[in-house]
Amino acid sequence: MRVNETSSVALMEDEEDWDDQDDDETDHGKSEIFENWQQIDSIEIPTHSKILPEDKSTDDIDEDRLLGIPLELRTCNQSADQEIVKEPRSSSGLQRSKLSKTLDAVLGQANVIYAKGQVKEALTMLLEVIRQAPRTYEPYLQVADIYNELGQPHNSLQYGLLAAHLNYRTPPEQWCRLGDLAFKLERFEEAAACYGRATRGEPTNWKHYEKRIDALERIGLRPLAMKTRLQAAQFIDHSAAGVDFEWFSALIKTAAEYYIQKNDEEKAISALEAYVLRSRVFGRNADTQHNILIGMWMTRNRFEDAAKSIFALCPDITALNKDGNFAIEVKTFFSH
């Protein structure tokens, strides 16, 4: 999308062509906030990829860019022109903020006139609130809902993404719903970024990882897809998720083979570690992978890691001190 110098968003061109007859009927009832209202820029549905050439070779990417978040809205600081009043801290200790009473009243008025069927006027009022308070998520969310009811999913998605980005309390399931909508609309870049936000909020949900991997592969971000596979193998609790060893095995082997081909030993080691440990949890044999892992550790002078893995995973080998007690305490874990 595009934002002008006042961080504003405006109506689509097809909305601007609507019959202006209703304007005359409602102008007298509008707040003084609209007395000096001026036409503002229109939202643009992305028609080209936001992926840069260098993104294809890295496992890190600016997901705000993929989401289409304007630069003006990417920082956490409140803008100087936003009318915000602070409420006392709630019982949970979180300090809430809300729109000024004037803008809050406009939001309520917009809901009322939209319920009466005055769609254009409601959108105009909501977009003016966005212009004056661009970092407040509520009006974006209301605009997204209106576009959804109007059957304009691309517009609904764009405003929904902005609302979710601006609301730091957006739950993982909402990010996932936005990702599903983006995927359905074949906007795979936004879908991948949404699923990424969902995994950060709920890192043990395997479905978020699967959907993110699918979207990333579709847009050619293979390194990031491999990183996501490895994260899934490391973070997901198989008991809670109800996934089997074959699911983990497919993820890890794909990532390990990729990193070995790329001569990225650190990540290949991480993948092999995950495979060996998952095999142990499921009672599967991974002697071949374990031997490869030990060799890679040895070549990198990680002798302690090699020794501990032998004592932990080879039942017939133990390290005892002169008193016959265990000399080394070994705890298995997933490295991140």
* CATH number of domain containing 145: 1.25.40.10
pLDDT value at residue 45? 56
* Domain-embedded: residue 35: yes
Which of the four pLDDT bands, split at 50, 70 and 90, describes residue 222?
very high
pLDDT digits (tens, 9 = 90+) for 73-102: 886 534 333 333 333 443 333 333 456 788
The kind and range of the H/E element at 100 are none
Cα separation of the two ends of the chain = 35
The amino acid that residue 138 corresponds to is E
In a domain, 253, yes or no: no
pLDDT tier for residue 62 given thresholds of 50, 70 and 90 = confident
Work out the burial of residue 139: count CB atoms within 10 Å of its CB; fewer than 13 is exposed, 13-18 middle, 19 or more buried: buried
Whether the predicted pLDDT of 167 surpasses 80:
yes
> Using CA atoms in the order 165, 167, 168, 174, what is the torsion angle rounded to 10 degrees?
-70
Q: Looking at residues 109-135, what average pLDDT do you find?
A: 91
Residue showing tokens 């490869």: 292
Percent of the chain with pLDDT over 70: 72
Q: Per-residue pLDDT averaged across 287-299, rounded? A: 92
**The pLDDT of residue 310 is above 60:** yes
**Amino acid making up residue 148:** N
> 311: which residues sit within 8 A by CB, 6+ positions away?
317, 318, 319, 328, 330
In a domain, 144, yes or no: yes
Q: Is residue 243 one of the residues assigned to a domain?
A: no
- Please indicate, yes or no, if residue 37 is contained in any of the structural domains: yes
pLDDT above 90: percentage of residues in the chain: 50
Lowest mean pLDDT among 6-15, 102-111, 206-215, 216-225: 6-15
Residue 308, in any domain of the structure: no
- Domain of residue 87: give its range: 1-170
Count of the separate structural domains present in the chain: 1
Asked if residue 279 lies in contact with residue 289, where contact means CB atoms within 8 angstroms, the answer is: yes
Does some domain include residue 119?
A: yes
Neighbours of 178 (CB within 10 A): 27
Q: How many Cβ atoms sit within 10 Å of the Cβ of residue 26?
A: 16
Q: Answer yes or no: is 23 within a domain.
A: yes
pTM recorded for the entire structure: 0.74
- Residue 208's φ and ψ, nearest 5 degrees, are -60, -40
